[in-house]
Chains A and B, each alone.
Chain A
Amino acid sequence: MNPVRPPVFEARNLQVIKGGSLILDVPSLVISEGEILVLIGPNGAGKSTLLQTLAALQTPSRGEILFRGQKIGADVPVLQYRRRLAMILQEPLLFDTTVYHNVASGLKIRGMKRNEIDAIVANTLDRFRITHLKNRSARTLSGGEARRTSIARAFATNPEILLLDEPFSALDPMIRETLIEDLEKVLHETRITTIFVTHDRMEALRLASRLGVMNAGKILQIDLTSEVLHRPANEFVASLVGFETILGGEVIRRDNETFVASVSGREIEAIGDAVVGEKVSLCIRPENVTLLTTASANPRNAINAFEGTVEKVTHMGSFRKVQLNCGLQLNTYITNNSFEALSLSKGTKVVVSLRPTDIHVVRQKGRLSFGT
């Protein structure tokens, strides 16, 4: 996708080599004004390295970064550039002083006057609803309060760019939810250009205007969130954006828009351009797997309907994850009510069905294809 708004960042041939290993390799990355780019990926994917490199906290081994068209370190001094951004790391890393002084720290570093600092800090504390903590020592704050203070500290300097490195990890779900809501609101109000790194898919989907998936130091796919979500470029991206089952198969026949692939002796119909004899990966989301009891379904008359048994049931709170064996290993999620209505347990015989339009196809070579 080509961003239509003016680029804030432009990274070219960015590489970071450490201990002889290439840990970051980004040939090109453009981030537009006001966009919220979320980068997801497993630990060690290079997300934090990319963020630190963009923040000029790490010098790239090769390549360059342009900030509003100016090369960082050459056209624009590193310190001047850093003073236009704010970064929130995984740990709150507050200073051993009061909340007021923590929020004021970036302003003091910039040599602002006391009365200006007072006014900005008061406003920032109010915005993040921590005015009551103003004189509290940072040591006495709870995890959520500390995180809120670190976010306030970042916003106090009125940055042009916000870089967040998994700021909500290791927080309990309720506090995390409130903080994400507040951040979402502030990001919406300020329209600040943001790069957010996380390994939490739900967090990413809530905040992202564009989504990037990283692994082994490379950006595997970067596009509008809905595109990455519905059209993952490969199996790895698919698995990260919620396709829990990925089946390898070979196309054995095709008809107009559909084809049939043989997967572990089963025939699965999907939509796409794959040609006969081509190897394909069929990516399936658990929420697209329909579960019926043998009494209510006739698999012989349906497309992609298979008889199978329940192999394992895992309680996930308001719903359950059911692992099925129908010659293929499939997962599905069902509500507790449905689970009880279907009287499911380990070993129960069921019929599993998949709509061809719900199967995302990754071709072994060339372009992608998708059912919807």
Chain B
Amino acid sequence: MDLIIEGIIKAFWLLVSFDPEVLGITLLSIKVSGTATLISLVIGISVGASVALTRFPGRSIVVSLINTGMALPPVVVGLFVTISLWRNGPLGFLGILYTPLAMIVAQAVIATPIVTGISLAAVQQLPAKLRLQILALGATRRQMVWILIKEAKLSLLAAIMAGFGGVISEVGASIMVGGNIKGYSRVLTTATVMETGRGNFDVAIALSIILLLLAYLINLVLTQVQQRERPR
């Protein structure tokens, strides 16, 4: 119990003192997970909406794969991204292994199926005749898709929350492809794992509290928007 209290006090102290190392770790976490989420939104919404709006042979298999991808284990992603970026790997020439960029790639791979799956469901849930109505208003196919995405915005906010929540809290992929290098590729989750291993529970608890606080604040903002917009 003392350990937890000490941890909370330490966290409070690290926060109010703007500890440069913790601040750097926190900012890098936001940068890496935020960028990965943005990439996943662009890819996920496009693919999700496309699959939702088209019929093609094997569509149900594609939908099943997307839904399976929503539960993609981060360590598996970490493993394959590491192999790909390894010096002799197919993308080894990029030379980005053990960099924040590699972490962004890995996190984007984790978040994209989540955003895709939720986007697909969101667009599919819109009334089928809404597409006809938009086309009858003179829209091009691209305009129709854009209007449908705007109509599904409440569900898409959930996609952002799920995507960001998935990557800000993952540790396996980040530690494998980022290497947890101090002052360079260390993020909140990887730092927490390391401090726990070292027995520095107070610092680990402090980092965990910052992580929880960060996740909560971002979800709070998105929830506020979602609740303000939700149908009455």
Contacts and interface: CB of A to CB of B under 8 A. Distances in A.
Interface of A: 52, 55, 57, 79, 82-83, 85-87, 89-91, 93, 95-96, 105-106, 109-110, 139-140, 153, 157, 163
The number of chain B residues touching the other chain, given as a range, is 10 to 19
B219 to A, nearest CB: 22
9 contacts: A55-B136, A57-B135, A57-B136, A87-B132, A87-B136, A91-B129, A95-B147, A96-B229, A106-B138
B138 A52 contact: no
A93 B138 contact: no
A85 B132 CA distance: 13
A140 B230 CA distance: 12
A110 B143 CA distance: 10
B232 A93 contact: no
B138 A89 contact: no
Contacts of A157: 137-138
B200 interface: no
Nearest to A56: B135
Contacts of A106: 137-138
A353 to B, nearest CB: 49
B132 A89 contact: yes
Contacts of B151: 95-96
B133 A93 contact: yes
B232 A139 contact: yes
**Interface SS of chain B: helix, strand, loop or mixed?**
helix
Contacts of B135: 57, 82
Contact of A109 (B130, B132, B143, B231): B143
B133 A89 contact: yes
A163 B133 CA distance: 11
A91 B127 contact: yes
A95 B144 CA distance: 12
Contact of A110 (B133, B136, B138): B138
B139 interface: yes
A-B residue pairs, 9 tightest by C-beta:
A87-B136, A83-B138, A106-B137, A93-B133, A109-B139, A109-B138, A57-B132, A82-B138, A93-B130
B125 interface: no
A89 B232 contact: no
Given A79-B138, A89-B132, 17 more contacts: A52-B132, A82-B136, A85-B136, A86-B137, A87-B136, A89-B129, A89-B133, A93-B127, A93-B130, A95-B147, A95-B150, A96-B150, A96-B151, A96-B229, A105-B137, A106-B137, A139-B231
B123 to A, nearest CB: 14
Nearest to A92: B133
A83 B147 CA distance: 17
B232 A79 contact: no
Contacts of B137: 86, 105-106, 109, 153, 157
A190 to B, nearest CB: 18
A332 to B, nearest CB: 41
A57 B127 CA distance: 16
A271 B139 CA distance: 56
B196 interface: no
B68 interface: no
B140 interface: yes
Nearest to B231: A139
A91 B130 CA distance: 9
